Amino acid sequence: MFQPGIYFGLEPEPYHADPALGSGDVKRLLFSAPDFWWHSKFNPARPEDTGDTPNMIFGRAVHAMVLEGPEVFAKDYMREPSGEGLIVTDEDASRWIADNASRIPADVKTLPRSKSGKLALIHQIDPGVPILDAIKRRADEDGMTILNGDDYDRIVVASQMISRNPELARAFQGGMPEVSIFWEQPVPEAGTVIRCKARLDYLKVRGIGDLKSIRNVFGIQFPAACRKNIANYRYDVQAAHYMRARATLPGHVAAGAVFGDHDPEWLARVAAADEYAFAFVFYQATQAPITWACSLSPGNPILEFGTADVDRALLNYARFYERYGTEAAWILAEPVAELDLSEMPAWFGRS
């Protein structure tokens, strides 16, 4: 577990491994503390991690390109090769060997039948022939992720759309990406303190930038789709949680609890800022790479709703933790009551 403080350059794996409560945990606790326990590290039978989904890989790649820049992106991601001459299938390998039969070494008496054998023979004849399996193997050894051509091109265009938008060009400039913060959050109603964490996409002197992708499946106007996602996925709760993390920076700086490479003078200006806001920058992950942004500043009722629900979620955690601890499953134990018609959906009973 990380001690309270500000961490620059912290890898995602150790951040996520720390059991402190992040914004995703807070949102789950808000609606169902038993579901939080079920998916938490407290549960020895929790569902296995099924690995990265294509959407998760795409989202991380966009973050690398937009937040950290093309050079960092190029170190971790590459475009899947394509085009004439690329050996992909067993049939491609057989065709290449047949077309280059005159180049087969004399000591090769029997042509290989397996795909791996054919690929090895092709490499022996001409190491310069592009072989997809070999390219993927080298990429894996180098820790690189191969993106399909459409996704790679879309990510490059999305980055350009943000940098070329005069309203967003400086959204991810002049700050630091992927800043992790750990802190102890008092919960006065429960008389306890809860460890929390947040990983800010981009920290600036007067704000926090958060990059979001949207698959606008209903084809509505893009700003409307963004607002719908904020409401549906309770991004206001995330914003409130992150703003609370941001408020702990002066204390961490004063205590010297700052880790990783950073500019101390810049961080001092961040800690000294009295006013700052949270900004969402949305981009469309399908169809045209449209971008749109909005901000939530202190006093905005949307942010106040989110803050109230963060407090409610932390109180849920404290109460369930006190009642069940960590080893027993958290149970939603409510008295059995008569179901009232007013509790049913508005459409119920209508013909």
**List of domains in the chain:** 5-50+170-324 (3.90.320)
Query: What was the pLDDT predicted at 95?
Result: 95
Query: What was the pLDDT predicted at 52?
Result: 80
* DSSP codes, 221-258: -HHHHHHHHHHHTTHHHHHHHHHHHHHTHHHHHHHT-E
- Measured CA to CA, the distance from residue 306 to residue 318 in angstroms comes to 18
Model confidence at 203, pLDDT cuts 50, 70, 90, reads very high
- Measured CA to CA, the distance from residue 164 to residue 153 in angstroms comes to 16
Phi, psi dihedral angles at 324 (to 5 degrees): -115, -15
Whole-model pTM over 0.85: yes
- Amino acid symbol at 204: K
Q: CB–CB of 282/213 below 8 Å?
A: yes
Q: CB–CB of 340/330 below 8 Å?
A: no
Question: Mean pLDDT across the stretch 14-19?
Answer: 95
Encode pLDDT of 331-341 as tens digits: 998 899 999 99
Answer yes or no: is pLDDT of 32 > 90. Answer: yes
Encode pLDDT of 132-191 as tens digits: 999 999 999 999 999 999 899 989 988 888 888 888 888 899 999 999 999 999 999 999
Encode pLDDT of 83-110 as tens digits: 889 999 999 999 999 999 999 999 998 9
- Measured CA to CA, the distance from residue 194 to residue 275 in angstroms comes to 26
Q: CB–CB of 210/279 below 8 Å?
A: yes
* Of the candidates 129, 303, 315, the residue with the CA atom closest to the CA atom of residue 230: 303
Encode pLDDT of 292-331 as tens digits: 999 999 999 999 999 999 999 999 999 999 999 998 999 9
User: DSSP assignment, residue 131?
Assistant: B
Query: What was the pLDDT predicted at 217?
Result: 84
* Of the candidates 150, 154, 90, 78, the residue with the CA atom closest to the CA atom of residue 117: 90
